[in-house]
A and B are shown apart, each in its own frame.
Chain A
C-alpha cells in the first residue's frame, strides 16, 4: 500500500481536521485564555487578570450552591439509575421460568424493552417541557392523580423543598430505559448455564444479582457509571427548562450558572469561561476516578 497513498490521505484528512480545529480545538484553547481575563461583553476590552476569576469563584456562594446540587446529583443519579436498570434488566432476562431449571425472559420482554427505551429517543427539551406540565400544581397529571385519591399534593417545582427532587426524578426516569437495554445486551452474552446452575443451587434473586450478574457485567456497569456521572455534572437543559435553577436557587446547577453568567442578564465572558474551565477539570477527574476505582479483570467467556 506504499504507492500513491498521499493524495487520499490529504483529501480525506484535511477537511475533517480543518472543521475540527476551527470549531472545536480553537474555542477550547481560547476558553482557557479568556478565563484569565476580565472580559465583560461584546465590545469591552479583555485585560489579563491572572487567576482573579478563579479566586472570585472560590468565594462565590451561588457557584458553591450549584456545585453542591451537582454533587448530590452525582451521588444519587448514577446509583439509582444503575440499580433500577440492573433490576429491570435482570427481570427481563431471567424473570420467566420454564420447566425445572430453565432460565428464560419474561413474556413480552421485547415490548417492555421497547417501551422503556422511549424516553431515550425523545429530545431532552420535550422531556423537560412535558414534565413541567406533569408537575403543574393545578392541572398537572401528578396533582390530579393525588387529589383523585383524596391526598394532598405539594407544589412540586414551585417549592424549594421539593423542586430539586422532582428534577432528579426526571433525570432517573429519562435514563433508566437506556441502561435496561444496555445491561440486557451485556447479559445476553453471559452463558445461560451459569444462571441455571445458580438457580439449581437455590440462590435467591438478590444473591444472583449481587454475586453473579454484577461481577459478570462489571465492565458495562463501569462505563454506565462514567456516562451517568458526566450526565449528572451537566443536567443543564432539564434544569433550565423546568425551573431555570429556581425556586430560590434550589435546583441551580453549574451549567446553568455558566450559561447565565455568559448569556443571561450580564455578559461576563471571562468569569463564565472560568466556570467552564472548572467544569472541565471536574468532568475529567470524575471520569478518571470512576475508571480507576472500579478496575477489575476482564472476564472472557470461552
Chain B
C-alpha cells in the first residue's frame, strides 16, 4: 500500500519498465475524459444559454438566425411575458402555494415522525407502515378519486386544496426520512431534560427540533423543489380560473399560445423568468440542495 506522503526518492519500483506506457495511456485517457466532461457540460448549458439569449431577441431574429446574438436587448419580451402572459402573477401564485404546502408538510411530517421515532404505543407499526407504504403507489392510481374527494370537499380550484394535496402526498417520504433522522439523535439530552421537569411538548419544540435542523433542512429543500415543479396535480385540480394558476400551468399555456401567435421571444422570456430564480437559489445553496436531494436515496 503506497501512500502519498512516502518519500519517492530512493524507492526503486520493480515495474519501472511497465510504468511508462501506463502513464502515457493515462495521459491520453485524461485528455479524452476531460473532453467528455466538457462535452456533457456544454450539452447541459447550451440549451439554457440559447433560451436565455433568445429571450432578448426579436421574433424576426429568432427565425432568421437561431444561433446569432441579439442585435439589441429586447426587454419588451420580458415585459410581455411578465404582465401580458401573467407569468408574474403565476410566479407569485406558485410562491403562495409552495410556501403553504412546504410549511404544512414539515409541520405534520415532523410531528408524526417524532412520535414514531420516540414513543411506544399499540398500533404504532401499523400507522407507520401506512405512511411509508405510500412511497410505493404511483399518484396516477389516485387521480380520478382524488379529483372527486377534492371537489366534494369544496376545494376544487382553490389554493387550499392544492396545499392540502401536495402536503398529503409528500408525507410518506417526509415521515420515512425524518423518523430515521429522529432515531439517530442522542436520547441522553432528552432524558436529562425530562429529569429537569421539561414537559413532552416543550422537549420537542425546545430540544428535539433544534437538534434535528440538518435533517429538516434537507427534507424541506426536497419538498420545496418537488412542490414547485408539480404539474400533474394542478392540471387536474386547478382547471378553470386562470387567475389562480401556478407557474407550470402558465408556462404550458404560454407554449400552446405561442404556436398560434408566433411570439417565440415571449415564450423564451417566460421560461427564463421561471428558470432564473431557481438557478440563483441553487447556486447560492448548492451544497445543501445536492445533499438534500441525494440524502433520501442514500438512506
Interface residues of A (CB under 8 A from B): 1, 4-5, 7-9, 11-13, 15-17, 19-20, 22-28, 30-31, 34, 84, 87-88, 91-92, 95-102, 106, 112-126, 129-134, 138-141, 143-145, 148, 173, 176-178, 181-182, 185-186, 193, 196-197, 200, 202, 204-205, 220, 223-224, 227, 230, 233-234, 236-237, 241, 255, 258-259, 262-263, 269, 272-273, 275-277, 279-280, 283-284, 287
Contact = CB atoms under 8 A, between A and B. Distances in A.
A236 B3 CA distance: 50
Given A263-B236, A276-B138, A287-B136, A123 B231 contact: yes
B201 interface: yes
Given A112-B37, A276-B144, A141 B50 contact: yes
Interface string B100-121: 0000100011011011001101
Interface in B1-58: 1-4, 8, 15, 18, 22, 25-26, 29-30, 33-34, 36-37, 40-41, 43-48, 50-51
5 contacts: A27-B142, A95-B37, A140-B66, A258-B143, A283-B138
Contacts of A16: 108-109, 111-112, 131, 171, 175
A236 to B, nearest CB: 7
Contacts of B114: 12
A196 B127 contact: no
Contacts of A272: 143-144
B228 interface: yes
Interface of B: 1-4, 8, 15, 18, 22, 25-26, 29-30, 33-34, 36-37, 40-41, 43-48, 50-51, 62-63, 65-67, 104, 108-109, 111-112, 114-115, 118-119, 121, 127, 130-131, 134, 136-138, 140-146, 149-150, 153, 164-165, 167-169, 171-172, 175, 194, 199-201, 204, 225, 228-229, 231-232, 236, 247-248, 251-252, 255, 264, 267-268, 271, 274-275, 278-279, 282-283, 286, 289-290, 293-294, 297-298
Given A95-B30, A115-B44, A100 B8 contact: yes
Contacts of B111: 11-13, 15-16
A134 B290 CA distance: 27
B278 A122 contact: yes
Contact of B115 (A13, A106, A284): A13
A269 B144 contact: yes
B18 A202 contact: yes
A28 B137 contact: yes
B1 A196 contact: yes
